[in-house]
């Protein structure tokens, strides 16, 4: 279908201070959205193309560029908001399905912001993390069914039955699945280096593992998704964990379409498909239509990896997450990853990104409670992601029942992402969500890796601080500890689902 | 160099005096062993350097040879369970009987020969290797197969298959011959339909050859029929010869009836599907 172009007001207004501009043309080189060009004797900015990635303004040596909200306003209309009008104009022009990147930007209430933490006062003294050990090491995987302690001739004999493979993390933060394809080679490499330094785990995303990255195999969580791309023996045998991807928070129920123009030599080698072909991940796994089928794939992966690593299952947070998680635990998974409504994506249909799923806060609390009620919580670890923005969210999601938090967008922001949400266009001016070699070069791997490692270290210290203030000496004692959370939001039903009391209510009456 | 030489010598030795081990899939009480136990024995035998592992009395044990690598040969007597050879990379499996669902699931390389039927989702997401089935197949066979460089999966059914053959196919070669797979010599056409509807829905790579014609309305979205040319015959010839050798089916019999080729209309089915630049 031919595009029928229809002029609409720009979202942003790009202004160049002519006094300051020295005509160095750096903005024209740096902009990847065709905004700046040198025409005649001046730089001309086409504001209608601007996505506010800030690359030009950051790189301008004179500080001559301003990016402001669009100057031409739509007539105010609550029902037909600017956003909705823009969507209709776009679809009227193209007849296409709206695609979007990143996570939803709609103002769904962030429940983390309605939760407050407890602090130790008098009767349960706080701990000084500088002086005393506050443990943040976390183990992902199935735990023994029972432990028994016996005394034999004055010695304690601890027996715990069968041992199951666990992944040791130095801190309860893992990096989610961002594939080479959704982000660049350099971005992947920076994340792997940071994870190795910190001692945590990184998801491969759907799409296999580039041969160069096997150097980092001991921090890699291999994703097995519906497209089954890049699955070779070492992808299942040399890594730290395997994760079956059923769903993703940004696009529950949807598969993935990596457009052919992004499938260049590097991607082709990783996904193991010919260059230039669409890489389609089907909506469901074609061998999973029930919990029994899921159990079969878990069994196959455990057999293929010779029971050396834990096998997890990732689902999007949806209405029925708790019973599904119960089934997943009983199907033999060793960890369950819950990806919430606000989770990110390289590209997803906007209608799904913005309108399907539930916030991870509710899902993690519901799943944790359900598994505890059924006495099977020890069968699985819970990993929760989908807008873990900073350390406060990390602490709160653990208290709601997660063993570890999964990050994506915040990791990219640490590396320089401006969250302009144009990942799906593949022209990321910061060299992160792109495969264009002229752009991927822009991301300095060493610097990006160090910045990300800094964030992980800072979060871990903040976690220790808060644990100390709570009087808890190990992160495992925070997991599912809803007693240390209070709700201050507007909706008591939310507190009920979370299993959290309202602020002002004491531990017990 | 030394390594290569040692490898070649080992191959010669394996052919001359193969190191064979027999494993029963029943325990001492005559009950089928759990798959975990049986597979453990298979993996240990392969690691110990056995050339041929002969499995007797297989009773539906799943995941046989899962993730197995190397050049070992498995002979399976009885009925292996689902996911036979899943994630396998190299070995040859010959089943003297029928296989259940998902034989060769996400297989990387190797060969599976089934003397009976192999039912649903055979060769799912396979990226390499060959699967030859003498008899019939069920639904969704060869779906989402891929190919990359020298890896090109091949699945050949001597008999008929059901709906959604080659759905979502991204690469490789799928063949169904529609011969009478139940007869000893597979020597006559019983007038059955070689394939069901929903054929190659969402196909965006690879090629399907069907012996005989297929009604147009059986073709799924994105699939188109083409006539065979000389290159197609050249592609098919060695594959059919290999099939014929395994099951003692003469090539002339197979060529008696003309083939139909099914290919993707485009390698970019979602090329013009999306929009979203303005917001």
pLDDT digit string (tens) for B149-160? Answer: 889 999 999 999
Specify the pLDDT at position A279: 82
Which chain A residue lies closest to B147 (C-alpha atoms)? A273
CB contact under 8 A, B276 and A90: yes
Q: At what angle are helices A360-373 and A321-330 packed, to 10 degrees? A: 50
In angstroms, what separates the C-alpha of A273 from chain B's closest C-alpha? Answer: 5
In angstroms, what separates the C-alpha of B186 from chain A's closest C-alpha? Answer: 30
Neighbours of A493 (CB within 10 A): 7
In angstroms, what separates the C-alpha of B83 from chain A's closest C-alpha? Answer: 7
Measured CA to CA in angstroms, residue A81 lies from A88, A351, B144 at distances of 11, 16, 42
Contacts of residue B272 in chain A, CB cutoff 8 Å?
A: 1, 96
Contacts of residue B146 in chain A, CB cutoff 8 Å?
A: 228-229, 272-273
Cβ atoms of residues A458 and A198 within 8 Å? no
Specify the pLDDT at position A255: 86
Cβ atoms of residues A471 and A391 within 8 Å? no
Which chain B residue lies closest to A349 (C-alpha atoms)? B274
Contacts of residue B35 in chain A, CB cutoff 8 Å?
A: 299, 303
Contacts of residue A96 in chain B, CB cutoff 8 Å?
A: 272-276
Q: How confident is the model at residue B183 (pLDDT cuts 50, 70, 90)?
A: very low
Whether the CB of B104 is below 8 Å from some CB of chain A: the reply is: no
Whether the CB of B121 is below 8 Å from some CB of chain A: the reply is: yes
- At A446-473, the pLDDT tens digits run 999 999 999 999 999 999 999 999 999 9
Tell me which residues of chain B, numbers 34 to 63, contact chain A at a CB-CB cutoff of 8 Å. 35-36, 39, 43, 62-63
Nearest to A232 among B89, B121, B273 (CB): B89
Specify the pLDDT at position B223: 95
Nearest to B168 among A83, A282, A424 (CB): A282
Q: Is the pLDDT of residue B123 over 70?
A: yes
Q: Which of A2, A304, A306, A426 is the best substitution to test chain B (most B C-beta atoms within 10 A)?
A: A304
Contacts of residue A91 in chain B, CB cutoff 8 Å?
A: 275
Specify the pLDDT at position B187: 44
Place of tokens 């010869």: B241
Nearest to B105 among A1, A268, A287 (CB): A287
- At A322-341, the pLDDT tens digits run 999 999 999 999 999 999 99
Contacts of residue B221 in chain A, CB cutoff 8 Å?
A: none
Nearest to A109 by CA among A412, A509, A489: A489
Report d(CA A348, CA A97) in Å as an integer: 10
Specify the pLDDT at position B275: 77
Cβ atoms of residues A300 and A307 within 8 Å? no
The CA angle B33-B35-B38, to the nearest 5 degrees, is 65
Whether the CB of B67 is below 8 Å from some CB of chain A: the reply is: yes
Contacts of residue A287 in chain B, CB cutoff 8 Å?
A: 102, 105, 121, 124
Which chain B residue lies closest to A94 (C-alpha atoms)? B275
The CA angle A39-A44-A49, to the nearest 5 degrees, is 125
- At B158-181, the pLDDT tens digits run 999 999 999 999 999 999 999 875
Tell me which residues of chain B, numbers 196 to 215, contact chain A at a CB-CB cutoff of 8 Å. 202, 204-205
Contacts of residue A1 in chain B, CB cutoff 8 Å?
A: 272
Whether the CB of B140 is below 8 Å from some CB of chain A: the reply is: yes
Specify the pLDDT at position B186: 45
Which tokens in the block code for residue B89? 């990379």
In angstroms, what separates the C-alpha of A232 from chain B's closest C-alpha? Answer: 6
Q: Is the pLDDT of residue B38 over 80?
A: yes
In angstroms, what separates the C-alpha of A261 from chain B's closest C-alpha? Answer: 9
Which chain B residue lies closest to A420 (C-alpha atoms)? B279
Contacts of residue B269 in chain A, CB cutoff 8 Å?
A: 278, 280
The pTM for the full model equals: 0.94
Specify the pLDDT at position A269: 86
Whether the CB of B100 is below 8 Å from some CB of chain A: the reply is: no
Q: How many residues in total does chain A contain?
A: 509
Nearest to A282 among B121, B144, B277 (CB): B144
Q: Is the pLDDT of residue B185 over 60?
A: no
In angstroms, what separates the C-alpha of B184 from chain A's closest C-alpha? Answer: 32
Tell me which residues of chain B, numbers 219 to 258, contact chain A at a CB-CB cutoff of 8 Å. none
CB contact under 8 A, A350 and B87: no
Report d(CA B42, CA B67) in Å as an integer: 11
Write the CB contacts of B174 (distance below 8 Å, at least 6 apart in sequence).
B123, B141, B142, B145, B155, B165, B166, B206, B207, B208, B209
B132-146 as b/e, with b when 16 or more CB fall inside 10 Å? bbbbbbbbbbbbbbb
Q: How confident is the model at residue B278 (pLDDT cuts 50, 70, 90)?
A: low
In angstroms, what separates the C-alpha of A90 from chain B's closest C-alpha? Answer: 7
CB contact under 8 A, B202 and A280: yes
Write the CB contacts of A199 (distance below 8 Å, at least 6 apart in sequence).
A168, A169, A170, A171, A219
Nearest to A310 by CA among A227, A401, A380, A407: A380
Specify the pLDDT at position A266: 86
Q: What is the CA radius of gyration of chain B?
A: 20
CB contact under 8 A, A98 and B276: yes
Which chain A residue lies closest to B42 (C-alpha atoms)? A303
Specify the pLDDT at position A96: 87
Q: Is the pLDDT of residue B30 over 60?
A: yes
For chain B, give the mean pLDDT.
90
Cβ atoms of residues A343 and A249 within 8 Å? yes
Nearest to B86 among A96, A274, A300 (CB): A300
Specify the pLDDT at position B150: 85
Q: Which of A6, A51, A231, A278 is the best substitution to test chain B (most B C-beta atoms within 10 A)?
A: A278
The burial class, CB within 10 Å (0-12 / 13-18 / 19+), for A11 is: middle
Report d(CA B127, CA B107) in Å as an integer: 6
In angstroms, what separates the C-alpha of A10 from chain B's closest C-alpha? Answer: 9
The segments of chain A whose pLDDT lies below 50 read 1-2
Which tokens in the block code for residue A208? 């296999």
Nearest to A260 among B62, B146, B267 (CB): B267
Whether the CB of B127 is below 8 Å from some CB of chain A: the reply is: yes
Which chain B residue lies closest to A2 (C-alpha atoms)? B272
Nearest to A277 among B35, B39, B204 (CB): B204
Q: What is the CA radius of gyration of chain A?
A: 24
């Amino acid at each position: 279908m031919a595009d029928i172009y229809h002029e609409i007001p720009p979202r942003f207004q790009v202004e160049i201070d002519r006094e300051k501009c020295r005509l160095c043309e750096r903005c024209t080189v740096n902009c990847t959205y065709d905004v700046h060009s040198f025409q005649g004797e001046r730089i001309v900015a086409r504001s209608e193309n601007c996505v506010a990635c800030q690359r030009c303004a950051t790189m301008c040596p004179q500080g001559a560029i301003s990016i402001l909200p669009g100057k031409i306003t739509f007539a105010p209309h609550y029902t037909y908001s600017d956003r909705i009008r823009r969507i209709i104009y776009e679809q009227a022009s193209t007849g296409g399905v709206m695609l979007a990147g990143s996570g939803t930007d709609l103002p769904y209430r962030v429940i983390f912001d309605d939760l407050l933490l407890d602090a130790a006062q008098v009767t349960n003294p706080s701990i000084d993390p500088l002086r005393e050990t506050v443990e943040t090491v976390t183990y992902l995987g199935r735990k023994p069914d029972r432990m028994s302690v016996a005394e034999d001739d004055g010695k304690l004999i601890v027996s715990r039955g069968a041992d199951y493979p666990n992944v040791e993390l130095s801190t309860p933060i893992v990096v989610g699945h961002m594939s080479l394809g959704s982000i660049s080679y350099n971005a992947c490499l920076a994340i792997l280096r940071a994870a190795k330094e910190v001692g945590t785990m990184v998801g491969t995303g759907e799409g296999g593992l580039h041969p160069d990255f096997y150097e980092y195999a001991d921090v890699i969580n291999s994703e097995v998704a519906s497209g089954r791309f890049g699955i070779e023996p070492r992808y299942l045998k040399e890594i730290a964990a395997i994760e079956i991807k059923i769903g993703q928070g940004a696009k529950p129920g949807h598969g993935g379409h990596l457009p052919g123009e992004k499938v260049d030599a590097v991607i082709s080698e990783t996904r193991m498909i010919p260059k230039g072909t669409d890489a389609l991940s089907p909506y469901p796994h074609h061998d999973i239509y029930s919990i029994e089928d899921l159990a079969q794939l878990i069994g196959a992966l455990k057999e293929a990896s010779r029971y050396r690593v834990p096998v997890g299952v990732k689902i999007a947070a949806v209405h029925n997450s708790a019973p599904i998680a119960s089934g997943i635990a009983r199907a033999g998974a060793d960890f369950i990853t819950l990806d919430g409504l606000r989770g990110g994506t390289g590209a997803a249909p906007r209608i799904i990104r913005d309108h399907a799923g539930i916030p991870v806060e509710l899902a993690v609390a519901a799943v944790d409670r359900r598994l505890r009620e059924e006495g099977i919580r020890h069968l699985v670890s819970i990993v929760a992601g989908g807008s873990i923005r900073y350390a406060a969210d990390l602490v709160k999601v653990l208290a709601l029942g997660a063993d570890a938090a999964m990050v994506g967008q915040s990791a990219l922001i640490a590396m320089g992402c401006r969250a302009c949400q144009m990942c799906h266009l593949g022209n990321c001016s910061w060299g992160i969500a792109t495969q264009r070699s002229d752009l991927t070069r822009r991301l300095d791997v060493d610097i990006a890796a160090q910045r990300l490692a800094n964030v992980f270290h800072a979060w871990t210290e903040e976690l220790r601080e808060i644990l100390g203030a709570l009087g808890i000496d190990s992160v495992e004692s925070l997991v599912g500890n809803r007693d240390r959370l209070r709700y201050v939001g507007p909706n008591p039903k939310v507190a009920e689902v979370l299993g959290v009391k309202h602020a002002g209510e004491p531990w017990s009456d | 160099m030394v390594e290569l030489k040692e490898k070649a010598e080992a191959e010669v030795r394996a052919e001359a005096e193969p190191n064979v081990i027999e494993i029963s899939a029943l325990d001492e009480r005559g009950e089928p062993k759990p798959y975990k136990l049986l597979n453990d024995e298979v993996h240990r035998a392969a690691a110990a350097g056995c050339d041929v592992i002969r499995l007797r009395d297989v009773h539906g044990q799943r995941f046989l040879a899962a993730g197995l690598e190397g050049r070992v040969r498995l002979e399976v007597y009885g009925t292996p369970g689902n996911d036979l050879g899943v994630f396998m990379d190299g070995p040859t499996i010959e089943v003297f009987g029928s296989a259940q669902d998902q034989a060769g699931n996400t297989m990387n390389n190797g060969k599976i020969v089934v003397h009976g039927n192999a039912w649903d989702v055979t060769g799912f997401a396979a990226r390499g290797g060959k699967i030859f089935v003498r008899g019939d197949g069920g639904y969704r066979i060869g779906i989402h197969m891929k190919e990359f460089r020298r890896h090109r999966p091949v699945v050949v059914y001597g008999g008929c298959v059901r709906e959604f053959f080659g759905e979502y196919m991204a690469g490789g070669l799928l063949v169904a011959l529609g011969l009478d797979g139940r007869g000893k010599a597979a020597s006559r056409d019983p007038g059955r339909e070689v394939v069901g509807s929903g054929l190659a829905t969402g196909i965006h790579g690879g090629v399907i050859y069907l012996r005989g014609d297929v009604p147009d309305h059986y073709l799924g979205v994105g699939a188109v029929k083409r006539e065979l040319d000389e290159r197609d015959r050249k592609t098919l010839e060695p594959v059919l010869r290999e099939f014929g050798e395994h099951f003692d089916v003469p090539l002339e019999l197979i060529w008696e009836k003309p083939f139909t080729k099914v290919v993707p209309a485009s390698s970019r089915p979602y090329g013009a599907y999306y929009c979203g630049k303005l917001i």
